[in-house]
Amino acid sequence: MPPETKLTPMMEQYFKIKAAYPDAFLFYRLGDFYELFYTDAIEVSQLLELTLTSRNKNAVDPVPMCGVPYHAAAAYIDTLVEQGYKVAICEQVEDPKTAKGMVKREVVQLVTPGTVMEGKNLSAKDNNYLVALAQGISDFQLAYVDLSTGELKVALIADEEGVLNEVSVLRAKEVLLTNDISESTKELLEKRLGLVFSYQETMICPPHFESLTNELDEGLKEVTLKLLTYLNETQKRSLDHLQQARMYQVDHFLKLDYHSKANLELIQALRTGKKQGTLLWLLDETKTAMGGRLLKQWIDRPLIQQQAIETRQNQVASFVHAFFERGDLQEALKKVYDLERLAGRVAFGNVNGRDLIQLKTSLQQIPLLRHILQGIDQGEWQGLLSRLSPMEDLVQLIETGISEDAPLAITEGKIIKTGFNEQLDQYREAMSSGKKWLAELEAKERQATGIKTLKIGFNRVFGYYIEITKANLVHLPENRYERKQTLANAERFISPELKEIETLILEAEEKSVDLEYQLFLAIREEVKKSIASLQQLAQAVSEIDVLQSFATVSEKYQYVRPTFNQEGRLRIIDGRHPVVEKVLGHQEYIPNSIEMDQDSLILLITGPNMSGKSTYMRQLALTVIMAQIGCFIPAESAEMPLFDQIFTRIGASDDLIAGQSTFMVEMIEANHALQHATTNSLILFDELGRGTATYDGMALAQAIIEYIHREVRGKTLFSTHYHELTVLEEELSQLKNVHVGAVEKEGELVFLHKMLPGPADKSYGIHVAKIAGLPKRLLERADDLLVQLENGHPIQKAPLPVEQLSLFHEGNEEEQRVLDELRRLNVLEMTPLDAMNVLHQLQKKVK
């Protein structure tokens, strides 16, 4: 700020408030606008494409300023938060009419990427997690919350890689750090995930915060209380919907690091970044927003406990066999709104009448859901049925209290039903009678004055009035009314009788609106008492929704129920890649089996590019994930062991942010698998070692295969173009060669897309290049070089141009002598005439 600036009281207030929120844009309320000043104004005007103006334009140092109307501010705030910024909303907190001096203002909410409660940044089927992170001596403490649903969970994470993986899985947009977080961890999160960081050191511990964390040990309790304190200080309102903090252990679920999840395209397609083409896209037949969110959580965290998986399988089977009942259930679920977020809005204080009607409509579906489940239950639904509480009292309260046509605003009346409150009914009767009295008064005055066009109207400035056109003023008896307002073609008057009726009506209207608001708040407080029950009910409905989604997909695509064994047998007969099959159609997709008994550890896969090796490997991984979330799978039959982890190295990718080449990324991901895999893990390595020199790559690939066979001993699929590695089948007893079939037909390569025993006879790389459309000359040259290499000859220099090669066909001794003579000539020492003579002799020999 320039030294000559003399701050007004308003700007002094602004700077005092802004100092408390240096990393946020301050939306400072002035009348009907939110204004921004100085650097905030300059940046926001560019980000939102607003006009930048200034206060004190004629001063030496005018103050940069921009603003947005308060009624349209939500859209602008959404845009800023979506871009990763924070917005502090500053409101007037006292009535300007009663304020002595400067009107008091305070920040009433800090909106950040991790604390969004509504708006376009809150996708219906996505959670919005805020993560808090602290670093201990030997591990990290992590807590996360979804403010919109109240979900609160904590975990201990072993290392930086685990933190990165967990934050990535949660798809968090904001991370709350404590001072003990190292710069390396912060830098890793910043580079890899591009997060917004916030900081919280203090812990304010009101009793209800303590009660949410009383089951946690000291380290986890501290990071969770800092997270709750941050929410309390930024949101400045009730957080009664926050659930009890629950600890989970990462190793209680099937582990996939964020590289593997990206490679397998579980939630997000690699090329487009969208849902289409992913496993989530395939499986999502959910009918509710909360069911969609739970499905994503299940895909992120497959189970490893056989009993829990089989419980889900039993429920899916129950739905598969109850086609008509499932259809009725789906129709009921379509009428269930987002109970989790409705409960959050109730606690947060921003619920309106229409939200409560949605809540009532949702609860009215619960008896139907119970009836359907009871009709098909053979023991598998007892646990869920016990959590499906109809909550009739809450339905009755909303039914009798809230109007079906309730407006969005809760302070303008018309929200409470007639018959709910006697005093309100009396006010409404007064208003109704007042309008009747006005009609009677208008008729009486027309009769008394003889003016048929006389009318009684109303505006907010003058209240009720009698209006007479100027042409009829001559008929008005003198001194009958008191003049109130003159218009261009009419006069407006009042009378004692009209003022009396006006007082009755306006008092009734004002008191009615105030009373309705108080009644609505009372109903909201009653609903708030049921938040915990609503959240439990929401969880049960979400599970039902996901399970019916599994059943719908399983029936639609003819999936089967897999079985599990403890002996390490993996036997999937005619398995299919679920997503590719959906795109191609069931008739077009060529299935493949995979069989590995307890004595089989490694399948070494060879075959041409584009033949389906990577698809085969991804197919297995997706099949395992589907099986371990409780869904049926695409196959004729299947049995498998329970896997604890899946590691993938599929597809070439540079990590430009970290400055790593494809080969470095390969080695890092391979090392991660080799260090952490167990005998119960699934390892998928696709063409490992291709990013370096041939012999280096081959040596590394063989060493890795031998290490897995000898040390790791987890089920492994290893595809390669190094055909030399296929001899390992003779040396490693638990390695088996398979290949993807391909045949040459009339010079064209035909992919069979079928997995066959034994190694591939060749790679067909040049055929694939032909399919890709490379130039004909180039392909012919590649064929020549391939023949040389396959015959054990070193690669020769490039031959003479094609036009000259056509003169010298291999196999003609005379032509070969001419070539030799031509090579021996020293053209630089010859005269032009000598050169002409020699060329003529050579040409004669060739002819």
Annotated binding site for ATP: 607-614
- Residue set of the binding site: 607-614
Q: Which amino acid is at 185?
A: T
Which pair of tokens denotes residue 156? 């201990």
Residues with Cβ within 8 Å of 291's Cβ and at least 6 positions away in sequence, in order, are 333, 541, 542, 544, 545, 546, 549
Amino acid at 638: A
Q: DSSP assignment, residue 712?
A: I
- Residue 199 near residue 178, CB atoms below 8 Å: yes
Phi-psi region of 477 (alpha: psi -120 to 50; beta: other; left: phi over 0): beta
- SS3 of residue 29 by DSSP: strand
CA nearest to 439, candidates 456, 462, 463: 456
Q: For residues 92 and 89, give the distance between their C-alpha atoms in angstroms, rounded to a whole number.
A: 10
Tokens describing residue 741: 């079939």
- Decide: 415 and 429 in contact? Cβ < 8 Å: no
832-846 and 813-824 helices, crossing angle to 10° = 170
Place of tokens 């203002």: 105
Q: Which long-range contacts (CB under 8 A, 24 or more apart) does 396-401 make?
A: 397/523, 397/526, 397/527, 398/356, 398/357, 398/359, 398/360, 398/523, 398/527, 399/360, 401/519, 401/523
Pairing verdict, β 174-177 and 196-199: parallel
Nearest to 761 by CA among 740, 736, 733: 740
Torsions phi, psi of 98, nearest 5? -105, 0
DSSP per-residue codes, 64-106: EEEEEEGGGHHHHHHHHHHTT--EEEEEE-S-TTT-SSSPPEE
* Cα 371 to Cα 495: distance, rounded to the nearest angstrom: 65
CA distance 493 to 505: 18
- Among the listed residues 124, 128, 542, 627, the one whose alpha carbon sits nearest the alpha carbon of residue 294: 542
Count Cα atoms within 13 angstroms, Cβ side, for 305.
7
Rounded-to-integer distance, Cα 815 and Cα 240, Å:
95
CB atoms within 10 A of CB 717: 23
- Other CB atoms within a 10 A radius of the CB of residue 794 amount to 6
Strand order of the β-sheet with 592-596 is 563-565, 637-641, 570-575, 592-596
Cβ atoms of 66 and 53 closer than 8 Å? yes
818-821, Cβ contacts within 8 angstroms, sequence gap of 24 or more: 818/842, 818/845, 818/846
Length of the chain: 847
User: Measured between alpha carbons, how far is 42 from 49 in angstroms, rounded to an integer?
Assistant: 10
**Residue 772, both tokens:** 């890709």
Query: What contacts 80, CB < 8 A, 6 or more positions away?
Result: 25, 44, 47, 48, 87
Q: Angle 8-12-15 (CA atoms, 0-180°, nearest 5)? A: 135
- Reference 180, options 230, 229, 219, 233; nearest CA is 219
